[in-house]
Amino acid sequence: MSELARLRQKVSDGLGLAATAAQPVDRADPATHQMHEVHAGDTGSIAFYVAVSLSVGAFSAALIALAVPYAVTVVLATFFGAVLVGILLYALFGKSFLHPGAMAEDHSDVRLRQTQNRSLIAEMQEFMGDIVVIRDMNRRIVEANRVFREMTGCAAPEGLSCEEIGIAFRPGDKVHAYDVEIATPFGQRIFSWHDVVTRDLVSSRLMISSIARDVTEERLALADREDARLRAEKADAEKARLLATVSHEIRLPLSGMLGMNHLLSQTKLNEEQRNYLDGMKQSGQSLVQLVEDLLDYSTMEAGRFRLNPRAENLRRLIESIVEMLAHRAHEKGIEIASFVTPDVPDHLDFDPARLRQVLFNLLGNAVKFTREGGVVIRARMVDGELQIAVEDTGPGMSRAEQARIFGEFEQAGPLSQRSAGTGLGLAISARIVREFGGSLTVSSRKGKGSTFKLTFRPGGAPAEMADPGRRHCLRHTNVLLIAPKGVAAAVTMEAIEAFGGQCALIHQPEDLERLRKESATRAADLTDIIVDRRISPLFRDALKDWPQQNVRRTLLVSPEERPSTMHVSFDAWLIRPLREKSLIDVLCGRLRGIERRDAINDNHPDVGFSSRVAQGASGIEILVAEDDAVNQRIVRAVLEKSGYIVRAVEDFGALRQSLRPDASRLPDLIVSDLNMPGGEGLDVLPALLDTLKGDRNIPVIVLSGDTSDATAENLLKAGAGAVLTKPADPRRLVEEIRRLLEAKRLLSS
């Protein structure tokens, strides 16, 4: 019989005994008849005890009856009490009293069953290859199975301790569960060892029962996985350091290129030279965007990406992005517009920098690939979620292109239409939206345009907290909009009606004549006429003959078309793409001119600045700490053109020397690079900033090629007034200097 068959037979026999014990009684079976006789004898012993009890009770009752009244009652009570006492005596002592060998038989039976069970369990464990060993509380081996003897090479382990055999225990987190290494005849093996303290049923002694299973392969595989994880983390960290270093080194010459480009643009150039300069600027800014994409992707891959939500005005954010892309759209002959429904609160909690990045990417792609028609971005609240849709009339995408558009290094469309870039923009955008807790989806048809829809639940004011007056602010307004067909006119009409006004849209002079004839009442109720300058010459004569003289007339122009003076036939003007507030103010009679706009030039942050001397700049000295000669020259030129006195140093040592208490003159402000000779910037600058607090209040602006939020946050906490990323925007640099100097002046006064 095989080992497996023998084990199965043992288990079957054990289960069979248990089943037999549970079967019903059969009176015809001799064994059952013998059991019945035993029970009959037990019944007789009950009668014996009851008789003894009754005799004692009767004798006691007779004695009591001689002296106690109510003797009958006492006799009855004594009788029934005797019966109960007899039954209890039998239950406690009857069997052993009648059969003195019964107790010994019970102990023998328990010992036999314990031995049988232990033998069965041991054989099952041996079959499974497990070590089974029983030790006393002095940790001396009492019993051990065959597997233990084979694995340890000790044929007679009884009386020895595991340590004496060569087993070293190294307890882990759990007191009674740990791994044990055993030098077996098959090599070094690892066993998962478990101890349980039990009490022997016969001797009542405490024993340590142990079982151990060979887990060598599992532990080695786990160690390999952990080693692979550590290697991967190390590789990721090295990759992140490499990208950070490379990006810093790329930003340094980029900063010089764009800065010199800007300084050159301030000189006298002919048209051909200016076109060449613009091309250099666009290429440099594209390279900056490439570096930004690679850094963002690396940060996300390493799991270090974090959002910084705060209360922000969504309308202003969307309008600023649209305005930045307007020039590029108008150059292509397409329109661009935005509309935020009145149910969207003024302020919501989100990360404005990251949402701007996503929307800029979506709108930039839409403008890039749309050749006819236009691009529109709409925002609304849907069941407490913010939904932003970017729609275009571009070439559209097939289902296959839609399925892979959010993948890394992917670009949709034919190769002839694809632009230079990493193909990471939409992949990064989708990840950012997932960090927002939302989704980014696309729906498109080939040749019919595309719609990218961004949905997430922002913090801040719920939709019901939106300004209720916004829905009715134009309720007394009746507008005639004269504009070319396109998304801009459609969105303008949609906005007027959403704010409670009425609007009629016409595109041809014939439509105006028909309106005058067919709806004289409506024409008489007009409060405003808005005319797009692109088709205004077609309506000049018709508008001269307009019957009502008290209708407010507004000219709609693009930023590139804004006239130097107001046309005599118009009362106000607006700029495409429209701002919500400007539209409402003009139609309510609160605004006549064009609001100032800065971001109208292209789809990149404007690096230009006004070269006029800043008010109050005379006599103010700024210390510039920059080790790169080109960047130092650029910063010096920018500040000197703004009217400041500039002194420059090239390392941290010279910077410290310039700030000594006994220096002849301390600067009014410091502009310092983060990384220079003479120390680590993240160590030197915080210590330096700490010395400039209190009476020596000198604001510091840090220029850094490190784009991480943690670096900027640490510098700001240490006392920096501002942290600007290279290549620094000259306009923003000058604005930050003015802000910090004004704050210093107010503090000192």
* Cβ contacts of 419 within 8 Å, gap of 6 or more: 368, 411
- The CATH 1.10.287.130 domain(s) of the chain lie at 222-301
Supply the CATH classification number for the domain 125-214: 3.30.450.20
d(CA 734, CA 606): 13
Instruction: Using alpha carbons, select from 328, 401, 325, 394 the residue that is nearest to residue 363.
Output: 325
* Beta pairing partners, 335: 374
Is there a contact between 670 and 638 (Cβ–Cβ < 8 Å)?
no
Strands 572-575 and 131-136: unpaired
**Element (H or E) spanning 656, and its range?**
helix 652-658
State which fold the 621-748 domain adopts: Rossmann fold (3.40.50)
Q: What is the mean pLDDT of each run of 10 residues along the chain (749 residues)?
A: 47 41 37 38 50 59 55 60 62 50 54 58 63 91 90 91 85 79 88 89 86 91 92 82 74 79 84 79 77 76 78 91 88 93 91 90 92 95 93 91 78 48 77 92 91 90 67 90 92 94 88 71 76 85 68 83 59 88 88 48 37 59 89 88 91 87 84 86 81 77 81 85 84 90 80
Length of the chain: 749
d(CA 423, CA 728): 25
The DSSP letter of residue 449 is -
d(CA 520, CA 504): 13
Residue bearing tokens 């102990």:
107
- The CATH 3.40.50.2300 domain(s) of the chain lie at 468-587, 621-748
Kindly report the backbone phi and psi dihedral angles of residue 660, in degrees, each rounded to the nearest multiple of 5, phi listed first: -65, 145
d(CA 395, CA 290): 25
How big is the CA angle at 98 (ends 23 and 57), to the nearest 5 degrees?
A: 115
What does the pLDDT read at residue 598? 40
DSSP characters over 314-351:
HHHHHHHHHHHHHHHHHHTT-EEEEEE-TTS-SEEEE-
* Beta pairing partners, 649: 625
Supply the CATH classification number for the domain 310-465: 3.30.565.10
Instruction: Using alpha carbons, select from 115, 267, 265 the residue that is nearest to residue 202.
Output: 115
Instruction: Using alpha carbons, select from 63, 62, 54 the residue that is nearest to residue 86.
Output: 54
Query: Global pTM?
Result: 0.57
How crowded is residue 600: how many other Cβ atoms within 10 Å of its Cβ?
A: 17
Specify whether domain 468-587 bears CATH 3.90.1150.200: no
Is there a contact between 376 and 336 (Cβ–Cβ < 8 Å)?
yes
d(CA 528, CA 515): 15
d(CA 97, CA 92): 9
Specify whether domain 222-301 bears CATH 1.10.287.130: yes
Helix, coil or strand: residue 575? strand
